[in-house]
Structure 1
Amino acid sequence: MAKNTNPNWVSATAKYVRVAPRKARLVVDQVRNQPVARAFELLQFCERAVAVDVEKVLKSAVANAYQNKGMRPETLQIVAAYVDEGPTLKRIRPRAKGSASRINKRTSHITITVAPRKEA
């Protein structure tokens, strides 16, 4: 997992997103190493609900690159995208005979890093 090590890389993070990391990783894995335009297409037609949150993070990363570094959005590519586990909300569900079961409501931290495409 490549953290933000290059000075030309720009990232955005959404913290405490109320979706399980396992579900979010399915969507993030599809857009990793894609050009930004292609990633937006994939997210627009993805049927999973977390695609909306991933798209917000991607838009934020592109806006950060444009505003802070002056990079043109059409030249950007996703170089790193990962989902870390956030804190888990623990809830109780009543069960038979006075017992209880725990419900874990998991949260995620979604990070997307973009950089200019390398012309090969």
Structure 2
Amino acid sequence: MEKAVNTNTEVKKATATLRYAMISPRKVRIVIDLIRNKPVQEALNILKFIPKRGARFVEKLLKSAIANAENNHNMNVDKLYIAEIYANGGPMLKRIRPRAQGRAFLIRKRTSHITVVLKERE
């Protein structure tokens, strides 16, 4: 007879989500690929020196996720790392660009939903 081993160890995780950010997901992904799986302090230092507009969105979101981890989940800030981070497309605002001979082209102003998931390293 085999013994049943309880592997129900709940891993604490803290999340933060920014929805409807007025920036293209493609542009944000350039920034988030640089900080994935990094410790949060290192990620904040990296974001501080990236000259991209998306870095400001991600930096503010990461600080929010750190505050959530510390205040809501009682996690140790020094052990936190970015377990998941992704940017999905949100709704598009459609605008018209007048063109020659009475034509009109569509401009798609893209939005993003950015999500950060933090976990503690063992």
Deviation at 1:7, TM superposition (A): 4.4
* Amino acid across the alignment from 1:105: K
The Cα shift of 1:74 comes to 1.5
Match of 2:4 in 1: none
Where does residue 86 of structure 1 map in the other structure?
A: 90
Distance in 2, Cα, partners of 1:117 & 1:40: 17
**Which runs of 5 or more structure 2 residues have no equivalent in the other structure?**
1-9
RMSD: 0.9
Identity percentage of aligned residues: 47
Partner Cα separation in structure 2 for residue 90 and residue 69 of structure 1: 40
Which residue of structure 2 aligns with residue 64 of structure 1?
68
TM-score (structure 2 length as normaliser): 0.90
Instruction: Give how far 1:58 is off.
Output: 0.3
Output the amino acid matched with 2:120.
P
SS of structure 1 residue aligned to 2:56 = helix
In the alignment, what sits opposite 2:119? 115
Ranges in structure 1 where 5+ consecutive residues have no aligned partner: 1-5
